[in-house]
Structure formats: structure tokens, C-alpha cells
Amino acid sequence: METPRRTVLAAGAGGAAALVTGCSKYGDEGGGSTSDRSTPAAPDTGGANEPPKSSAPAGEKLAQTSAIPVGGGKIFDAQKVVVTQPTSGEFKAFSAVCTHQGCLVDKVADGTIDCPCHGSKFSVESAEVVDGPAPRPLPPKQITVSGDSIMLT
């Protein structure tokens, strides 16, 4: 039993190492050829030419706007966020954690965000409680729509 597992692990590690080596070599060549024009003799500065951090996006990208159905929504389990589009072009985001006992909502259908645990339903437009034992609306979350990307901010 142990021998086949070891063999698989060793092969996996070797493959990963080869991939990393290949990538970094390729990147160094590309960066060196463009940056060496301004710095005459600097063969080892490949790593110093990283792009500035300002190019990083302002928030975590959740989805394309086209992934959110009009009149419905989509749940992002990892971020515990539900994004809805009550009317075309209008996007809203709420916590996906039910205000009753903390289950994650698991469905958006028929204009409501539904919790599987005890049947609470929340409006896709306002996250107000429509049905069930939940005592409060789902708290709002901040998103930014940039072009066709929805970012969690």
C-alpha cells in the first residue's frame, strides 16, 4: 500500500519543480530583454523589475455581471456573500449567513434568498425577511461593479 503512494508523491513533486523552473526561466528572459535597454550591464536584476503594487485590483473579484441572473442572484460560499440583480444593471450584495442560526443560504429562486436550515427567505432586493424564523434582514455587503466585473470591496 505504501509503495504506490510514495511513487505518486515523488512524481508529483518532480513535475511541480519542473514546472516552476520552466516558468521562472521564461519570465526572466522576457523581463530582461525589455528592461536591459535602460540599464546597460545588469544581468541579475530580473527579479527587481516587478510591476508596481498599484496595479493590483481594489477588491476581490467575485464574478462577471453576466453570471448574476436578473431578478435572482448567486451565492459565493467561500466569501459568504450573495449577489443579486433585482432589476437589470442593479447589483446588490448581502451576507450569505442566515440571521436565524447562522446557516449559509443555499438558493436564490422566485425573488427570494433561501436558507436550507429552517426555511427562512429573504428578499433579493432588500434582504428583508419574507418568510421563516429569521429575526433580521441579511446584512449588506459592499461591492463595486467595474465594467463587467463585480468586486467585493
Binding site for ligand FES (CB under 6 A): 98, 100-103, 115, 117-120, 132-134
Q: CB of 94: closest distance to ligand FES in angstroms?
A: 13
Indicate the residue among 71 and 132 with the shorter CB distance to ligand FES. 132
By beta-carbon proximity to ligand FES, the closer residue of 98 and 124 is: 98
Question: CA 24, CA 10: separation in Å to the nearest integer?
Answer: 22
Q: Tell me the sheet residues that pair with 122.
A: 113, 129
Coil vs helix vs strand at 118: coil
- Decide: 152 and 81 in contact? Cβ < 8 Å: yes
Report, in Å, the least distance between residue 137 CB and ligand FES.
Answer: 13
CB 68, min distance to ligand FES, A: 22
Residues with Cβ within 8 Å of 51's Cβ and at least 6 positions away in sequence, in order, are none
Pick between residue 97 and residue 151 the one whose CB is nearest to ligand FES. Answer: 97
Rounded least distance, CB 52 to ligand FES, Å:
44
Nearer to ligand FES, 25 or 136 (CB): 136
**Cβ closest to ligand FES, residue 100 vs residue 149:** 100
d(CA 84, CA 40): 54
Q: How far is the CB of 115 from ligand FES (least distance, A)?
A: 3
Task: Kindly give, in sequence order, each residue whose CB lies less than 8 Å from that of residue 15, ignoring residues fewer than 6 positions away.
Answer: none
Alpha-helix residue ranges (DSSP H) falling in the chain: 2-35
